[in-house]
Amino acid sequence: MREKSILLAGNWKMNYGPKETLQFLDALKISPKPKAKMRLYLPAINLETAVKTITVKSLPIEIGAQNVHGEKSGAYTGELSASMLKEIGITQALIGHSERRQFFGETDQSVLKRTVGALTQDLEVLVCIGETLQERNQNRMPDVIRTQLALLLADETCLSAFGQRLHLAYEPVWAIGTGVTATPAQAEEVHALIRGLLAEKLGAERANATRILYGGSVTPANFKDLLACPNIDGGLVGGASLKPESWMQLWSLCP
Ligand code: PGA
């Protein structure tokens, strides 16, 4: 039996500014959990406020960025670098969310570049992968997952970071923001596939040390059953991370 280390991660997407961030953090009543960590991926403009607030309030929360560029600096209008994030105390970044792929032209290749750049500059990275509804309906889910993972698994920087500073989120695109959650069995099938692919390349120990979060319409009503699956190490939560009540309920379900 794997020893799980649970991560409850919220992704606020393009919601809330600094004022609402403060209100949210003020409303949180949470204590540390023995086997779980909490993290929030916030819009860039909220990061510094959030870091300062959790420090002052001693809240057991890690704060992360929703994206980061792979280059150290340069002519990349609208982007953030790892050193900018680190300067304000951020060491966590989400990369490759399906909305970045769908609306902003990010690809497996650009996700790889960002990931390698971020890892090289000492960030901890959560990379999102997952199939669309069309791909699932065409029985292409395993191929899509294999392809999305293949570039990461072929890269030396990523290979040495898996299970340490590189972790994954499986987010079926058809379940994101739709209210349709993958059933625990559907999710576990893909998580087991991902873990198996990691194990082929990295061995069982490193594969087991890699966190694989599930994301897509996670709520307090379905989180417990998802967490009970052997290969699901937590949730990446959009909608239900936006209200302190539902967020605290999710935390209460963590071990
Ligand atoms: P959702 O979003 O929980 O609102 O479906 C999840 C995500 O996109 O990370």
Digit-coded pLDDT (tens) for 90-103: 999 999 999 999 99
- Please identify, by atom number, the ligand 1 atom nearest to the C-alpha of residue 11: 9
Are 129 and 174 in contact by the 8 Å Cβ rule? The answer is no
- Does this model's pTM top 0.95? My answer is yes
Rounded to the nearest whole angstrom, what is the distance from the C-alpha of residue 72 to the centroid of ligand 1?
A: 29
**Tens of pLDDT along 103-127?**
999 999 999 999 999 999 999 999 9
pLDDT value at position 177? Answer: 86
Instruction: Compute, in angstroms, the gap from residue 54 CA to the centroid of ligand 1.
Output: 23
Task: Spell out which residues line ligand 1, taking CB within 6 angstroms.
Answer: 11, 171, 176-177, 215-218, 236-239
Q: Which pLDDT tens digit goes with each residue over 196-219?
A: 999 999 999 999 999 999 999 999
**Among candidate residues 212, 218, 217, 249, the one with its CA nearest the CA of residue 5:** 212
Helix (H/G/I), strand (E/B), else coil: 112: helix
Which protein residue has the closest C-alpha to ligand 1 atom 1?
238
Ligand 1 pocket mutation pick from 99, 217, 243 by most atoms within 8 angstroms of CB = 217
Q: Which CATH class is domain 6-25+34-252?
A: alpha beta
Report angle CA 143, 186, 213 to the nearest 5 degrees: 85
Q: Where are the alpha helices (DSSP H) in 121-237?
A: 133-137, 141-153, 156-161, 184-202, 204-209, 223-227
- Burial label for 172, CB within 10 Å (0-12, 13-18, 19+), is buried
End-to-end CA distance of the chain: 16
The pLDDT score that the predictor gives to residue 201 is: 96
Using alpha carbons, list the distances in angstroms from residue 11 to 39, 67, 151, 176.
9, 11, 24, 11
Ligand 1 mean position, distance from CA 75 (Å): 31
Q: Which residues are catalytic?
A: 97, 171
- The percent of residues above 90 in pLDDT, for the chain, comes to 96
